[in-house]
Each structure stands twice: as C-alpha cells, then as structure tokens.
Amino acid sequence: MIIDIAAADGEMIWQPDSAGIMQTGVARFAEFVAQHGHDSKNDYDSLWQWSVDEPAEFWELFAKFAGVEFGGVAGDVVSQDPMPHTKWFPGRTLNFARHLLHGHEGTALIAISEDGGREETSWESLRGEVAALAQYLRTQGVGQGDRVVAILPNVAEAVVGLLATASLGAIWSICAPEFGAGAVVSRFAQLEPKVVLAAPGYMLGGKDRDRRDELNEIIAQLPTVEQLIWVERHTSIPTFDTKIPASTWEKAVAEPAELRFADVEFSHPLWVLFSSGTTGIPKGIVHGHGGALLEELKMLLIHSDLRPGDRYLNVASTSWVLWNALVSALGVGATAVLIDGNPVFPSLDRVWQITADERVAVLGVGAGFVHACANTDLVPKSQHDLVSLKSLQVTGSPLSADGFRWVYAHVGDIWLASMSGGTDIASIFVGGSPTMPVHVGYIQAPALGVRVESWDEQGDPTTGKGELVVTQPMPSMPLSFWGDDGTRYHESYFSTYPAVWRHGDFIEFTRRGILIHGRSDSTLNRNGLRLGSADIYAAVESLPEVVEALVVGVELGTEYYMPLFVQLTNGADPEVAKDAIIGSIRENLSVRYLPDEIVFMRAIPHTRTGKKLEVPVKRMLQGTPLEKVADLGAVDDPELLEVYSEFALEKQSVNL
C-alpha cells in the first residue's frame, strides 16, 4: 500500500498489505521453520537473526523448503574451516540442472526478439532440447570438468547450453556477442574449452551485426576447441568454414535422448563468471552446483517473492550475473522472459510494454534504467496494463531517493526491492522483504544467511558508513579463481581483514534501512556491470598515440561518471587519438567500456613504486580534498596530482 508518493528522503513510502503477507515466500518460510521447531516470531528481523546465529540449521532447512534433493552421505552442513576454506554440505551430491528442470509443466521460456518476434518454449520441449544437446556433447567427448563456452545473446539456446553443460557435470561460461575478440580470448583462453557455441551475428539497435571476423580470430586463439556449434536462428549473417569441425544447432539437438544428470559433489564447479580487476587477465570466478543453486533460490524465493507460475523478467545481457539469476527462475517453477537485442530499443518504454504484454510478476532492472525513465515523460501505470506486476527489483548501483518516488508515482502500488550483491557471490548481501515497509532511498534489510556488517578504518564494527564486510561464510562464495593458486583470490577479498570478506563497497546501517555508497576501491561498476580497468588499459595503451591511461568510476548524484585520463605521445593529435581510443575499445572490448569523457593530461599520477593512483583520483571526484586522499611525499609528481584535484573541483561545481 502506497503511503505518500512524495514522501521525503528516509520516510516510509510503501507498506505491505497485511492480507497478502502470509502468501509471501518470507512468511511461508518462517512458518516452515516454525514447523521444524524454531520460533522465528514471524517477523523478518528475527528470522534473519536466527539465520546468521544458526547458519547450519538455516541452510539445511532452506534447502528442504526449496525442494533441493541431495544424494550422497548426510553429515555436517558446514565445516569449521575459516573463510575462504569453508566447506558446505561435504559428502552430499546434487545437480543444478536437475533441480531447474524437474517437476514443472506449462511454459518455461518466453523469448522476445528485437523485431518483436515471440516464441514460447514448454517445459517438455526445454527438457527435450537439454537432453538432446547433452547427448550430442557426450558424443563429442565432453564429460565432468570439461569446459563448454558460448558467445551468444539472450536467447533460448543459451539457456539450453547452460543446462545441458551442467547436466553433464561440465563447466559453463558465456560472453555476450558484442564483446571484442580480445576480451573474449582473454577470458576463454584461460578455460581451454572443448566446445564453443556461437552465433555468426546478432541483432542490436535495429541492425544485424556481423561477427564472423571476430569469431574467426577468437577460434584461432582457442587451440583446445574440438567442436563448434553454430546458432544461426536469430541472425541473417551466414556461417563460415572453420578448421575445426562445426555443426548447426539443429543437428546438435536433432536426436531425442534420455534426460540424465551427473550427480556431482556440492562444490563441483558449475560455471565461470568473469570479473576484471585493475591488473592482469580477467578473474574467472568459479561457483559450485550447490552454492549457486541455494543462493539463487534464496534470492528468488525469499528476496524476490517469486512463485511457481510467475513470469520473471530481468533485463540483463548474458555476460551479467543477473542472466544466471534469470535462468535460475526455472528452479522456482517460474517462466523466464528473455529479451534478445537492446531491451530499450527503440525506446525505454519497450521494457514496460513487454512487462505488460507478458504479464510479468517480477521485473528486474538496473538503477540507471529507473533514473533514465525518470528523465522522460513516461508514466507506465497509465500507458500500460501492469496489473500482474507485483515487484520491481532494482540493482546495479544505488537507487536515488527520486528514483524511489518516481517508481511509486509512475509505476504504481508495487513492492520496490532495492538490492546489492555481486558477480562474486552470484547473489545479494542486502535486499528486500515483501513483509517490511519501504523507506525512500533505503534498502530494506540484510539477506537471510548473510552476516553483513559495516567496518571502520580500524576494522571495528560501526553502524555508520564503512567497508561492507561479511563475517561468516556464504555457500556461494567462489570456490576459486580459475587457474589461481589462491593468491589472487585472497588479495581480492581477504587481504584487508584476515578471514573476513571485504567486498569493496561502502555500506551504512540506519534505523530506516541500509545505504550503499558505491565502491570503496577502484573497481568500475557501471549499472551493475563490473568493468576491469586492466581491460581498458590493454585496449588503449597499445595505441601508438597513447603513453598511458587511467580510468575511474564514481557516482555523481544519480549518474555514474567514468572518465578516462590519457597521456598522449609527443606530437599526437588529440582528435585522432580520441577516435583511435574509441575505436580500440569498441573493437577489443565493447561499447559498455566506452568512457563518459576522455580527458587529456600531461601525465598519469603514480606512487613512487609505480602504481597508478586510481583510488585517490576517484576519491577527489567524490569530493574528498587532495590532502586527505594521498601522502604527497609518496607520489611521483605532487604537482600533477594538484592538476587532477583542480579537475575534480571543477567537475563537482558543474554537478552542483
């Protein structure tokens, strides 16, 4: 129930209807817990406290509640080893794909193409295609631990590819087709894949994009590939001859087969998600069958209130972890709505039109999408029939107070669930509950089973703004980074606080709820997409016009600002260099990596040991004075850093 669409920052703007609370996933789980002898007091805060005080009992009961079937030998739910060495459900077996595919009838997938084409895939048909593709992969020698990768848009074949790979106990990874050849190779070459699924072209922005040259280059740099499967149905671009055996999708799924699932250990690798850092090759984050399944189901059943038969639309490309969440909706018995191409082409209203046409119950979007809508004259509740929509999930970056007000004024009386998580855990740290009120600008609560805290600079807990840390293990924390001996994994999460996960976000807890204040490190996070500065440096610093570059990202109001600072070679023409930089990023990465501004500087600032000063430059853009961001005696060129400070002050004055 909407309280006041013009509620001030921090004030209550919505509260649940008491009549509907008992049907929510939170209430049903609380009742389930009570039936098993635990008094949850039927309120979310008490349920959360129990979930973190008794994590073994919580996760075992949640698995039962979600219908997850284990094989193997029952034993301890969680080992006593400190993070990152904690083991979950040791000795128990399962299969991610089995849970997603068994026991449902009706429509599993609805796929919508950019030109308005629409296809439904029944559960029976989905199971049939998964079984057929899995059998074809077996004939190609794919077994447990082998890697199958895909370069595909958000189409049904990508879903089938993931599930067929998982059913075998093989390992899946996918890149969106707009990624440049270099970006794809830097990821997939690490995995040494045996099979590649790829489309020779893809639709985006009303154009059929030809990817044959890039694919030829990619395949040439993946020497372990033994089989290519062409997915041609969504493009008019023809395939080409390759040096490796190739098959069409139609041939690969032509022979009916029995649907079989390999029973694998709870921690058996399921997929590899890539998240780039500031140095080195992209990090291949490995999640396990059991951890990914439990966390995805918890996020959907509890924190999205997704129910069997609901239609779920999450606006995400295949390279974003939220695509994995979209596929995981099948495990709830919901229908996943897939949008191929640009979801906001030809306008932002397309998302609302599809939501209405497909009777979507839960819609997931990035905060940037809501902010963009708020800058238009869109009034979705008046322009579309949104009677089926019960929840709007918002993630990717902090949603502004004005964003909250826009939703309730222009979308309607729905539960707005702002949440924050990450590719790293394939889940959320903080999010929502449909049993709690919504306050303007605030996330409602920590997620069940997640002991998330704010720590100050001394490493002490605080309710004020501090580092987002997790002090107890989660089942979906990465098993490892691909090819890493543990060093890079430890440096990424555990080097600041021993045995405590530091995520790299600023968080604040208040009586109204939770605030996420953006990244505390130099990681780029544009609308929820983790972009690695190392990828950008590789594309830009290889140009003859460029000596060196530095990129940062910062939230300025409701916008995410990502400037690229560049030092040019002597005599280089700035306009020529700018075109070359843009072209190289487009070709080697994707348009998602293009900076908001290219700023030419006389040099790039470093520490005296040669490390780029990304965090100090970012903090200055956030409004922190120069004297507080760096020890000028420890930098290579103090006067240069003052130039960056002047730029930051000027940028702030423009945005005031």
User: Can you give the pTM of this predicted structure?
Assistant: 0.86
For residues 489 and 522, what is the distance between their CA atoms, to the nearest angstrom?
17
For residues 379 and 373, what is the distance between their CA atoms, to the nearest angstrom?
9
Query: What's the pLDDT score for residue 69?
Result: 93
Query: What's the pLDDT score for residue 530?
Result: 65
Neighbours of 427 (CB within 10 A): 30
For residues 336 and 112, what is the distance between their CA atoms, to the nearest angstrom?
11
Query: What's the pLDDT score for residue 560?
Result: 85
Query: What's the pLDDT score for residue 563?
Result: 94
For residues 617 and 644, what is the distance between their CA atoms, to the nearest angstrom?
7
Query: What's the pLDDT score for residue 280?
Result: 62
Neighbours of 579 (CB within 10 A): 12
Judge contact between 3 and 14, C-beta under 8 A: yes
Query: What's the pLDDT score for residue 656?
Result: 52
Query: What's the pLDDT score for residue 522?
Result: 67
- Kindly report each contact of residues 248-257 with a partner whose C-beta sits within 8 Å and lies 24 or more positions away, as own/partner: 249/157, 249/197, 252/132, 252/133, 252/136, 253/129, 253/132, 253/133, 253/136, 253/160, 254/132, 255/132, 255/135, 255/136, 256/128, 256/131, 256/132, 257/131, 257/132, 257/134, 257/135
The neighbouring-strand residues paired with 561 are 554
CA angle 509, 515, 516 (to 5 degrees): 120
The neighbouring-strand residues paired with 506 are 467
Mean per-residue pLDDT pooled into runs of 10, the chain (656 residues): 91 93 94 86 89 97 97 94 95 98 95 94 98 98 98 98 98 93 91 98 93 95 97 95 95 97 98 74 93 98 97 93 96 97 93 98 91 91 97 87 94 96 94 96 97 91 91 97 94 91 90 84 69 78 88 82 92 94 89 92 79 84 85 78 92 69
- For residue 526, report the phi and psi dihedrals to the nearest 5 degrees: -95, 110
- Per the listing, tokens 């929510």 go with 24
What are the structure tokens assigned to 296, written together? 């995805």
